[in-house]
Chain A
Amino acid sequence: MSLRPQPGRRDGASQSRTSVSDRYRSWLQHHRLSAADSLFRVLDKPLASLMTWLVIGIALALPVGLSVALDNARAISDGIDSTARVSLFLVDGTSASRAGTLAEDIEQRDDVTEVAFLSSEEALVEFSQLSGFADVLDSLDDNPLPHVILVEPGVTDEASVEALRADMLALPEVAQAVLDMAWLQRLNRLMELSRRLVQALGVLLLAGVVLILGNTIRLAIENRRDEIVITKLVGGSNAFVRRPFLYTGLWFGVGGGVVAAILVAVALWAIDGPVAALAASYGSDFELGGLGIMNSLNLVLFGGILGLAGAWLAVSRHLGGIEPR
């Protein structure tokens, strides 16, 4: 027992003779008590608490749900062969053998990794199969399609690819050189823009959550004003008075996190069927990715942290002002 030395004091002062381990135990005990008491108070008003949980849950679910959607979109776009490719459409009347030689020549270049030659006949067959216009194409006298050489650059940066395309266009046999990358780049930029927008929305909604919680806790503080005054009068420290309110914030935040995780799961479940059907119609076996157990738990934890932050905000603003008068 590490007693504080109190020379010359009589027995009546024994309330301050508490050992450090006793103090720690009672500190833990008060944490347990505050946590249980706050939880009881939150559950005691189920409807009001449910409202708070829903507000927080929806505010959290929106950015989280959107970012899950973006993750899925990214999974799709990553699945697309993202290597740049230059399609060379040859001048009408170029013979197939001349085109084949040209393809071999191009393959010799240092900045080219692979070259595929697609003759006009092959292209016609492929096109009639894929387009379903077989009958129409059969009725044509001439093959309207040119020979195509697909060039896969060995360089990745935009300028070098563009230089390669210009070189190809300069060849007399080449009528058109088309870079297939443009749409993919646009898609990626669009995705990046969406991500930023979701982040901005997320920041705003999180600030909203903290403020909502702060206001809820402020009301709780107002409701228990007398209790705070009495506690301070009989020697309760600020930490002692603060504790139950911080736990109240924690419970609201955790509940909000649970609601958000459920909302995201339900929304994903609701669109899973249509997405699978859509993917199947494209011949893809794409599966919608969800939050997963870990991320759901993280969401709940994060809700708890936001709850604590909101409570701290309210407590630091309003508790100090409540002094015994």
Chain B
Amino acid sequence: MIVFERVSKRYEEGHDALREVSVSIDQDDMVFLTGHSGAGKSTLMRLIMLMERPTRGQVIVDGQNLAKVRRRGIPGHRRNIGVVFQNHQLLFDRPVFDNVALPLLIAGQDHREVGRRVRAALDKVGLLDKERAMPITLSGGEQQRVGIARAVVGRPKILLADEPTGNLDPALSAEIMELFQAFNQVGVTVLIASHDLALISRLHHRILTLREGRLVSGTSD
């Protein structure tokens, strides 16, 4: 589903974020990506999202070589990927429902279908009763679950999460990880960047470790 072939990324200021990274993630995989801050976790995610282009090598997502996706094709590419951010990235002037509905609105769904799917997604993350609430009134864990609902509402094939439990206590973090596992079980490819080694090592999924831009473990199952 996600293939990196000898991918290097050097930023303009000369910093090598990724060096010769080769990895393949299958469709039903749930994979953790770990390493110190600055090891290249975010850069790897950004390459998949086409927020950056690799300096060398190829990234192939769902059979599509991303080098062939032009600027105009980027929005369409992103619509096939659900993303969860550490800082939630919610719209704080809109209620929960509108936040979760955003990807469907962008995709041009009929508004009846939007209502149905948003409620289904909120139900999955256990926030069905909060659809009219404003995000600011929610706890950190609830906000993160809104972010997850938004990421999955469009039924993406790939779910990316960058430090999704970064600001949460262990109990909440475990709950969030369970949610991701549930989505993985229905066939979504899940890639989670996290440095919470204690948590992710308990979950028995493949772990990719980055160190100074190099993949040092987890290249094969």
Which residues of A approach B to under 8 Å, CB–CB?
A: 10-16, 18, 22-23, 25-27, 29-30, 33, 226-227, 229-238, 240, 323-325
Contacts and interface: CB of A to CB of B under 8 A. Distances in A.
Interface of A is mostly: helix
B141 interface: no
B157 A233 contact: no
A236 B75 contact: yes
B155 A233 contact: no
Contacts of A324: 49, 51
Interface residues on B, range: 20 to 34
B107 interface: yes
B75 A235 contact: yes
Contact of B106 (A10, A29, A235, A323): A235
B154 A15 contact: yes
B41 interface: no
Interface stretch (B76-84, B169-177, B208-216): B76-84
B106 A233 contact: no
Given A233-B89, A235-B103, A26 B187 contact: no
Contact of B107 (A33, A232, A235, A323): A235
Given A15-B79, A25-B110, A234 B102 contact: yes
Contacts of A325: 51
Contacts of A18: 107-109
Contact of A237 (B49, B75, B188): B75
20 contacts: A13-B80, A14-B155, A15-B79, A18-B108, A18-B109, A26-B108, A30-B105, A30-B108, A227-B93, A230-B90, A232-B78, A233-B83, A233-B89, A234-B106, A235-B78, A235-B106, A236-B75, A237-B76, A323-B51, A324-B51
B36 interface: no
B189 to A, nearest CB: 10
B160 to A, nearest CB: 11
B91 A240 contact: no
Contacts of A233: 49, 51, 78, 83, 89
Max chain B Cβ within 10 angstroms of own Cβ: one of A15, A29, A30:
A15
B155 A240 contact: no
A15 B102 contact: no
Contacts of A232: 75, 78
B156 interface: yes
Interface in B149-170: 150, 154-157
A233 B75 CA distance: 8
A325 B72 CA distance: 18
Given A22-B108, A26-B110, 6 more contacts: A12-B156, A13-B80, A15-B80, A18-B107, A233-B78, A235-B103
B155 A12 contact: yes
